Amino acid sequence: MNEVLKTIRNRRSTRNFLPEQIKESELNAILEAGIYAPSATNKQPWHFTVVQNKDLIDRLNYSFKEFGKKSDNEYLRKFANNENFHVFYNSPTVILVSGEIDNRYSPIDCAAAVENMLIAGESLGIGSCWIGFIEYLLNSEEGKDFLYELKIPEGFRQIHAVALGYKKNNSTNGPIRRENTITYIK
């Protein structure tokens, strides 16, 4: 099987990371994969903020949980009230993916960039997890102060995040794929 297809099939979300920081060369390769994602009319409406400061990652987690505990969203409250839950799963590296506010395709284009980064990470032996929850905090009034600290550019909003690090354990057993998801018309 082709190596790219093999990597795609083997990639799983990692939620248990070693504390060791990933190498700069690995991080740069992952970021480059994100930059080379396709985007509508080649606008490339993304901005990547790399956070490797454990204190900041933990403060984001704490603020997310405090925010989530007060949320009307029952699903969000469930995670926020779990004292063992960490929004980034204690990963040593987090990439926040922001998109241009005025570009209607930003969420889709940024998702393509995230997927490229996840696959690139897997190809390098780096565990990853796509994080959506943090956008609730960072796009709220309570999260405004973080936008400045994270240097999110003016005219961008937080859309996705990626947790990265070395895997504590390797698992390539994925869930069985749903059947009947393809229709051929020839």
SS3 per-residue string spanning 78-97? HHHCCCCCCCCCCCCEEEEE
Which residues are within 8 A (CB) of 118 and not within 5 positions of it... i.e. 6 or more apart?
A: 11, 128, 130, 162
> What pLDDT is recorded for position 55?
98
CATH of 22-166, one of 3.40.50.2300, 2.40.10.500, 3.30.200.20, 3.40.109.10: 3.40.109.10
Mapped onto helix, strand or coil, the DSSP state of residue 157 is strand
CB atoms within 10 A of CB 111: 18
> What pLDDT is recorded for position 1?
85
> What pLDDT is recorded for position 172?
64
User: What does the pLDDT look like over 135-169, one tens digit per residue?
Assistant: 999 999 999 999 999 999 999 999 999 999 999 98
- Considering the entire predicted model, what is its pTM? 0.94
User: Shortest CA distance to 93 belongs to which of 33, 22, 24?
Assistant: 22
pLDDT higher than threshold 80 for residue 130? yes
pLDDT higher than threshold 90 for residue 171? no
